[in-house]
């Protein structure tokens, strides 16, 4: 993205009037709305000293001329559909201009750029380092693929196609055989009408001065029939071979792509998944790859064979009889055109049916999945009513589509049948006048029908190609996303982390223009237990995410044992950190597999030890198959607190140097929590622990507490110190009415 867009010529005079030269302009961006909120451009122009708002439409005029020096900061306020940019100076707000969400991002960045300009007198270059979020193709105006950012129509297809074909490269020998079989099969197909022609002309209705005797004609008949039988058997064998090879080839290629894709997905960074829905990524692995396989293993061979057939038929009919051949070939484009237009129309309707289907499914899904809520609120009738409404809508649309289908299809088939009628008439005339044999006429009729296949193929080719290319591009988009940077050049191995963690002036935002952590600094000694406290959304989990290096700080640094975390070998780091996340996740698998996830070679005793420490052993033993009970999706249902305890056991078993508990015991009762804590105290001796909890009693064993508010550290110290300070922590404790209890522990 550029914060210096090209200014229209009309503004030059205006700027000259202000003694602003081209090189003085540091920022020039265009909004799409004017003061009244009409679609009309407005320019925001900044130099080192000045800020101008210019309305170029009609008579260009300067709407606003401000001195930058008087302004302290800028903010872009974004609502629904639109927003505005404001400048602030000692409590005063000045509205600069309006914009729609289409340009909102630009003004959000401009706000931070202008702030820096006002304070430092320059715009730091890194503020512009964001790629353009283009949504529509600049060439044709149609939307780009949201994921790959490519226009299905305008993007060069050759490159993608070639890359797609590279997947079948290892199978070239197989493909060569396939192509030969294909050619042979096509030849058989093209030959058979010729055989019928000869059969008719020599054996059935021979012409000419000398008609051969019946015995000769009978022999001829038999040999032609045998020949056709031979061809039939040959075709059948070819077909079997071909289909088997397609199946093999298609599925092997599919497997290759899927495996590669999944492997790649595993190594993409966490932030890649932040921006995408799991469902969308999943459909790439399942549906898009299937689309590729369909294209490679089915459409390409089909199109190829139809093309060969088209060429073969054309050659033969042209050599048989030029005039009639033209009658066969010329209507073909017309038929192709009609098929395509009608096909589109009908496709449209069936798309609508599909849409209504998904609406019915949505009701079904939400009502059945939420059946408890529906019943609890006695809303069964309303749900039933809604379902019947949607179902009726579906029914009406289906009826409509099918009736249209029923109306359009017979005329289309009649049209298909009309070309042979032409041949019958004009060819028949030639037969009557003796310029053409009956056999040739028969062959022509057969060829006309045979041509329908290639014609239909032609009508579909563009659709297929575009669909396949879209799928390919989506798949390649993933494959082309660079994986999480595993290790920088010269990463430092850390086989044993001591556990010192330090934040130095860390500023971080998931979106770098909206920091979530501001200038956070703290130091944690090895073996310390740190409690992170703060309101929901304060930034506690974010701090944890930085320690795990799921994200990297934009400013400042995170140090592990005094080494910048970006320089530590990622594998060493992650191997020695264990995290029990806020939303404890269990995989589909047994309890045992879940606990041993981070240490697959753990002994049974270790697994039980870990479960015991997490206070999970007892409930596990009471599951029907003990540690071998399947849990997770499709397994035995376990409660939220039980899931948390399994996650804790998993973390303990990993024997980490740094343990992170993000609301790890929020769903278990206080008694159980206390037992877990005692076990953790014992096991976690000499390890660094970060614990986050809203229930402050959970943190009673923490050595020190860090209180965070709006991404800033506001208090830090021991429990006693913080209580004595009577600050935010004190308030929190008081609020939770744990005061007496905690004071009793603390004092």
Partner 1 sequence: MQSVFERDKSRIRLLEPSQTKVIRKEGGALELRYREEVYYPIRVKRAFPLTNPQNYIVFLKENNKQIGMVEDVNDLDEESRKNILEELDVVFFIPQIKRIIWVKERFGSSRWKVETDRGIKEFATRSLHESVKELEDGHIVITDTEGLQYEIKDINSLPRKSRAILGKIV
Ligand X SMILES: Nc1ncnc2c1ncn2[C@@H]1O[C@H](COP(=O)(O)OP(=O)(O)OP(=O)(O)O)[C@@H](O)[C@H]1O
CB atoms within 10 A of CB 402: 14
Q: What is the rounded distance in angstroms from the CA atom of residue 496 to the CA atom of residue 472?
A: 44
Which of 537, 626, 640, 746 binds ligand X (CB under 6 A)? It is: 537
Task: Find the binding residues for ligand X in span 573-612 (CB under 6 A).
Answer: 582
Q: Which residue has the tokens 């809203």?
A: 694
SS3 for 204-232, per residue? Answer: HCCCCCCCCCHHHHHHHHHHHHHHHHHHH
Query: Which ranges of 121-171 does DSSP label H, i.e. alpha helix?
Result: 157-165
Region near partner 1 per CB under 8 A, out of 89-97, 165-173, 482-490, 674-682 = 89-97
- In DSSP terms, 55 is beta-bridged to 61
Closer Cβ to partner 1, 86 or 305, answer by number: 86
Q: Is 437 in the site for Mg ion (CB under 5 A)?
A: no
Number of residues forming the site for partner 1 (CB under 8 A): 36
Nearest partner of 654 among 684, 676, 634, judged by Cα? 684
- Applying CB under 6 A, among 215, 319, 536, 740 the residue interacting with ligand X is 536
H-helix segments, 267-299: 270-274, 278-283, 289-294
Binding segment toward partner 1, per CB under 8 A, in 35-43, 226-234, 261-269, 443-451: 35-43
Residue 551 or 730 having the CB closest to ligand X: 551
Q: 39 is in the binding site of which of Mg ion, ligand X, partner 1, none (Cβ under 5 to 8 A by kind)? A: partner 1
Question: By C-beta, is 14 or 349 nearer to partner 1?
Answer: 349
What is the per-residue binding string for Mg ion in 605-644, x denoting contact by CB under 5 A?
A: ----------------------------------------
Q: Give the integer Cα–Cα distance in Å for 652 and 597.
A: 11
Q: Per CB under 5 A, which region of 123-131, 244-252, 454-462, 575-583 contacts Mg ion?
A: 575-583
Distance CA 292, CA 469 (A): 8
Which of positions 355-384 make contact with Mg ion (CB under 5 A)? none
Rounding to the nearest 10 degrees, give the CA dihedral for residues 249, 253, 254, 255: 110
Closest CA to 705 of 547, 554, 534, 586: 534
Q: Is 666 in the site for ligand X (CB under 6 A)?
A: no
- Stretch 506-545 residues interacting with Mg ion (CB under 5 A): 541
CB 564 within 8 A of CB 729: no
Nearest Cα neighbor of 570 from 646, 492, 515, 644 is: 492
* Angle between the N-to-C axes of helices 322-329 and 380-432, in degrees from 0 to 180, rounded to the nearest 10: 170
Among 94, 174, 379, 675, binds partner 1 (CB under 8 A): 94
Closer CB to partner 1, 359 or 574, in the complex:
359
Among partner 1, Mg ion, ligand X, none, what does residue 539 contact (CB within 5–8 Å per kind)? ligand X
Taking CB under 8 A as the binding criterion, the range among 78-86, 159-167, 412-420, 593-601 that sits at the site for partner 1 is: 78-86
Query: Which range of residues in 6-14, 91-99, 256-264, 302-310 is near partner 1 by CB under 8 A?
Result: 91-99
DSSP states along 655-697: --SEEEEESTTTTS-HHHHHHHHHHHHHHTTTSEEEEE-SSGG
Which CB sits closer to Mg ion, 184 or 714?
Answer: 714
The CA distance from 468 to 289, in Å, is 9
Given 356, 474, 540, 645, the residue binding ligand X (CB under 6 A): 540
Is residue 95 part of the contact set for partner 1 (CB under 8 A)?
A: yes
User: Does 21 contact partner 1 by CB under 8 A?
Assistant: no
* 707-746: b (≥16 Cβ within 10 Å) or e: bbeebebebbbebeebbeeeebbeebbeeeebeeebeeee
Number of residues that bind ligand X (CB under 6 A): 12
| Residue 197 sits in the site that holds partner 1 (CB under 8 A) | no
In the bound state, the residue with its beta carbon closest to Mg ion is 541
* Residue 263, helix vs strand vs coil: helix
Choosing from 124, 143, 428, 626, the residue that interacts with partner 1 (CB under 8 A) is 143
Q: Is 277 an interacting residue with respect to ligand X (CB under 6 A)?
A: no
Regarding 698 and contact with Mg ion (CB under 5 A), the answer is no
The backbone torsions φ and ψ at residue 61, rounded to the nearest 5 degrees and listed phi first, read -145, 155
Is 86 near partner 1 (CB under 8 A)? yes
Q: Alpha helix (H) ranges present in 481-600?
A: 540-547, 570-575, 591-595
Give the footprint of partner 1 on residues 333-362 (CB under 8 A). Answer: 351, 355, 358
Strands (E), 483-528: 501-508, 517-524
Does residue number 516 form part of the binding site for ligand X (CB under 6 A)? Answer: yes
Binding-residue pattern over the window 145 to 184 for partner 1, x denoting contact by CB under 8 A: -x-----xx-------------------------------
**Residues binding Mg ion: what is the number (CB under 5 A)?**
2
Residue 436 token pair = 């053409």
Min dist. Cβ of residue 375 to partner 1 (A): 19
Give contact residues for Mg ion (rule: CB under 5 A).
Answer: 541, 582
Give contact residues for partner 1 (rule: CB under 8 A).
Answer: 33, 37-40, 77-84, 86, 91-95, 98, 100-102, 135-136, 141-143, 146, 152-153, 351, 355, 358, 466, 470
């Amino acid at each position: 993205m550029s914060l210096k867009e090209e200014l229209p010529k009309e503004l030059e005079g205006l700027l000259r009037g202000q003694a602003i030269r081209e090189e003085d302009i540091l920022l020039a961006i265009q909004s799409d709305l004017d003061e009244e909120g009409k679609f009309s451009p407005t320019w925001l122009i900044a130099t080192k000293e000045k800020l101008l708002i210019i309305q170029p439409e009609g008579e260009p005029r300067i709407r606003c001329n401000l001195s930058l020096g008087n302004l302290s900061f800028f903010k872009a306020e974004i609502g629904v559909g639109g927003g505005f940019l404001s400048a602030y100076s000692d409590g005063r707000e000045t509205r600069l201009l309006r914009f729609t969400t289409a340009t909102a991002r630009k003004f959000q960045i401009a706000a931070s750029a202008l702030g820096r300009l006002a304070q430092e007198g320059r715009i730091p270059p890194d503020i512009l380092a964001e790629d353009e979020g283009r949504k529509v193709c600049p060439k044709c105006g149609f939307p780009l693929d949201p994921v790959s950012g490519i226009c299905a129509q305008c993007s060069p297809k050759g490159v993608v196609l070639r890359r797609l074909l590279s997947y079948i490269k290892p199978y070239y020998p197989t493909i060569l055989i396939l192509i030969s079989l294909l050619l042979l099969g096509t030849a058989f197909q093209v030959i058979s009408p010729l055989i019928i022609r000869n059969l008719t002309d020599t054996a059935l209705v021979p012409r000419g001065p000398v008609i051969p005797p019946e015995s000769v004609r009978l022999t001829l008949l038999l040999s032609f029939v045998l020949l056709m039988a031979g061809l039939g058997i040959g075709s059948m064998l070819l077909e079997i071979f071909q289909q088997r090879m397609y199946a093999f080839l298609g599925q092997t290629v599919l497997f290759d792509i899927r495996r590669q894709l999944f492997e790649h997905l595993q190594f993409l960074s966490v932030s890649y998944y932040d921006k995408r829905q799991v469902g969308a990524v999943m459909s790439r692995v399942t549906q898009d790859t299937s689309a590729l396989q369909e294209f490679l293993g089915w459409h390409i061979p089909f199109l190829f064979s139809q093309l060969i057939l088209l060429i073969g038929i054309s050659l033969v009919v042209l050599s048989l009889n030029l005039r009639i051949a033209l009658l066969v070939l010329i209507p073909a484009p017309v038929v192709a055109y009609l098929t395509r237009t009608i096909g589109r129309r009908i496709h449209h309707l069936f798309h609508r049916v599909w849409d209504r289907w998904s609406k019915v499914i949505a009701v079904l899904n939400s009502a059945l999945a939420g059946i408890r809520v529906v019943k609890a609120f006695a809303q069964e009738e309303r749900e039933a009513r809604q379902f019947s409404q949607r179902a009726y809508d579906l029914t009406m649309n289906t009826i409509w589509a099918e009736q249209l289908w029923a109306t359009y299809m017979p005329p289309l088939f009649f049209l298909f049948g009309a070309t042979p009628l032409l041949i019958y008439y004009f060819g028949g005339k030639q037969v009557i006048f003796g310029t053409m044999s009956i056999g040739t006429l028969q062959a022509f009729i057969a060829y006309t029908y045979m041509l329908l296949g290639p014609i239909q193929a032609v009508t579909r080719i563009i659709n297929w190609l575009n669909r396949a290319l879209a799928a390919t591009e989506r798949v390649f988009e993933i494959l082309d996303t660079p994986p999480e940077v595993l290790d920088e050049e010269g990463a430092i191995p850390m086989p044993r982390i001591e556990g010192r963690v330090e934040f130095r002036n860390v500023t971080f935002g998931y979106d770098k223009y909206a920091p979530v952590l501001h200038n956070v600094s703290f130091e944690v000694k090895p073996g310390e237990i740190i409690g992170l406290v703060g309101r929901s959304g304060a930034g506690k989990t974010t701090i944890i995410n930085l320690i795990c290096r799921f994200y990297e700080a934009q400013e400042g640094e995170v140090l592990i044992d005094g080494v910048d975390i970006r320089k530590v070998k990622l594998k060493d780091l992650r191997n020695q950190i264990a995290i029990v996340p806020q939303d404890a996740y269990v995989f589909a698998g047994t309890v045992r597999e879940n606990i041993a996830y981070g240490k697959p070679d753990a002994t049974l005793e270790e697994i039980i030890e870990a479960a015991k420490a997490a206070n999970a052993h007892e409930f596990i033993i009471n599951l029907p198959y003990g540690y071998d009970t399947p849990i997770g999706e499709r397994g035995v249902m376990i409660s939220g607190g039980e899931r948390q305890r399994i996650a804790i056991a998993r973390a303990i078993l990993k024997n980490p140097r740094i343990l992170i508990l993000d609301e790890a015991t929020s769903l278990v009762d206080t008694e159980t929590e206390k037992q877990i804590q005692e076990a953790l105290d014992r096991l976690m001796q000499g390890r660094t622990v970060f614990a986050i909890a809203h229930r402050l009693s959970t943190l009673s064993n923490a050595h020190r507490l860090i209180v965070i508010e709006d991404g800033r550290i506001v208090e830090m110290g021991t429990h006693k110190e913080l209580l004595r300070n009577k600050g935010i922590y004190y308030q929190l404790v008081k609020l939770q009415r744990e005061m007496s209890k905690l004071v009793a522990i603390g004092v």
